Amino acid sequence: MKAMSDSSGRLLAGLLLAGFIVGACRADGPERKRPNVLFLVCDDLNCDVGCYGHPQVKTPHIDRLASRGVLFSSAFCQFPLCGPSRASFLTGMYPDQTLVRRNAIYIREHIPNVVTMPQMFRRNGYFATRIGKMYHYNVPKHIGTSGHDDPYSWNQTFNPRGRDVDEESKIFSLRKGQFGGTLSWLAAEGTDEEQTDGIAATLAVERLKDHAKTGRPFFLAVGLYRPHTPYVAPRKYFDMYPVKSIQVPKVPEGYFDTLPMAARQTILRKRDQVNLPEKLAREAIQAYYASITFADAQIGRILKALKQTGLDRNTVVLFTSDHGYHMGEHGHYQKTTLFENSDRVPLVIAGPGVTARGTTHRHPVEMVDFYRTLADLCELKTPGTVTGLSLAPALVKPSRAIRSSALTQYSSGYSLRTARYRYTEWGQDGAGGAELYDRYEDPEELVNLADREEMAATQKGLSGLLRERVSTARQKPKGLVQIEFKNRRRVR
């Protein structure tokens, strides 16, 4: 079946959702309480997850959540960098609307009158709590602080700080003494509960127990730091992944010469972290996998408390990451590319309103859709600035397409992901070159088909669709104040 346009999807989504909400109200009566929200976000987690088919990584708790919810197999971030991505999904707007296109920005520097997703829940009587990283933080520098948080979003905040910060001197780094943007790791001593994310899970468990007593509706956002570098986890998690069992992705000879210069630069800007020697690459991948399984264990503790308190019966759970991540694919490590590895994110939604449990939605969706989805599931009205679509109809009928494509941008490039193709243009009107990948034939996106004669019609169609999507993503939302900075001066 041919995928529908995004505008048609928006209309159909609204009609389906209206029917879903009416049905839900009739079933439960007028006194039915609005659902709570548990919003779980990992940092720098790609789809190397058990329920996404990874043959090695162990994530039993995320897998169990997927078994009682809907897994979105083609969910994409709008910007493969922490700060811009988080600003985007927490406002329901594209990066060209938030004007947040780099890290270390407070969201209201650019859009001072925005109503963020947790702020919208606060305005509707929910108690909004943040534990850990939700907006941008420099990691590990800002662990234990409020980072670039937005205080208007929350009733209550917690900034856990564990022994992973105290033992920073023990961490191995490719660049001695440098962390965050540099590959670094540590098989730590001690328990889960002593690590920053372990403390965050403990705090979340305590919050859930308190909410079970008070009965007040809540929006609880838990932002885990792992598997962001430095990859720190207790040693037992490293032991689950023997170095000899790790497979390192291979890059064809002369591959980089096939890429436009702008795409090449997104990979080669950190030359000491490209095409790592085999031993070092295996150790880095082992540490990343260990951090994923450690993060999964903390998610498991939180979900266990949700069930034990009985809150699982009336709590929508959304689990995701802020963007994808490379582990040697294209010779690259970490994020900031316009390839599948960097742009695709895990996404699972479970709880009230999810009737198609244990199923998969395979059509493209975007992280910008979270805001409207959660609002719809809780029967709340979103502000006019929200531009994302609602995924609620897909939670009832996963085969129903909400979107026909997903849009991601980085640096001077914009990338479109359809069911079959990834198409990217760099520079003004594609002047910096293009990339076209047939993911049916080339799922690793290593053979650039752009400008080939036999692909001319396909490329023309995708280029037109990409530019249409970019134009829409640049539209100023009604009522939004935007402040751009140029040469350190504000320009409204």
Give the residue-averaged pLDDT of 124-130.
98
SS (H, E, C) the chain: CCCCCHHHHHHHHHHHHHHHHHHHHHHHCCCCCCCEEEEEEECCCCCCCHHHCCCCCCCHHHHHHHHCEEEECCEECCCCCHHHHHHHHCCCCCHHHHCCCCCCCCHHHCCCCCCCHHHHHHHCCCEEEEEECCCCCCCCCCCCCCCCCCHHHCCEEECCCCHHHHCHHHCEECCCCCCCCCCEEEEECCCHHHCHHHHHHHHHHHHHHHHHHHCCCEEEEEECCCCCCCEEEEHHHHHCCCHHHCCCCCCCCCHHHHCCHHHHHHHHCCHHHCCCCHHHHHHHHHHHHHHHHHHHHHHHHHHHHHHHCCHHHHEEEEEEECCCCEECHHHCEECCCCCHHHHEECEEEECCCCCCCCEEECCCEEHHHHHHHHHHHCCCCCCCCCCCCCCHHHHCCCCCCCCCCEEEEECCEEEEECCCEEEEEECHHHCCCEEEEECCCCCCCCCCCCCCHHHHHHHHHHHHHHHHHHHHHCCCCCCCCCCEEECCEEEC
Give the residue-averaged pLDDT of 373-377.
98
Give the residue-averaged pLDDT of 241-248.
97
pLDDT surpasses 50 at 27 = no
pLDDT of residue 304: 98
Active site residues: 82, 136
pLDDT of residue 19: 44
Which DSSP string do the residues of 156-208 spell out, in sequence order? Answer: EEE----HHHHTGGG-EESSTT--SSS-EEEEE-S-GGGSHHHHHHHHHHHHH
pLDDT of residue 109: 96
Give the contacts of 265 (CB within 8 A, at least 6 positions apart): 411
How sure is the predictor about 428, in pLDDT bands with cuts at 50, 70 and 90? very high
pLDDT of residue 269: 85
Domain residue extents for the chain:
6-404
pLDDT surpasses 90 at 378 = yes
How sure is the predictor about 487, in pLDDT bands with cuts at 50, 70 and 90? low
Please identify, in words, the CATH class of the domain defined by 6-404. Answer: alpha beta
pTM listed for this prediction: 0.92
Tokens for 323?
């963007």
Summary mean pLDDT of the chain: 93
Rounded to whole angstroms, how far apart are CA atoms 405 and 401? 10
pLDDT surpasses 80 at 9 = no
Q: What percent of the chain has pLDDT over 90?
A: 90
How sure is the predictor about 490, in pLDDT bands with cuts at 50, 70 and 90? low
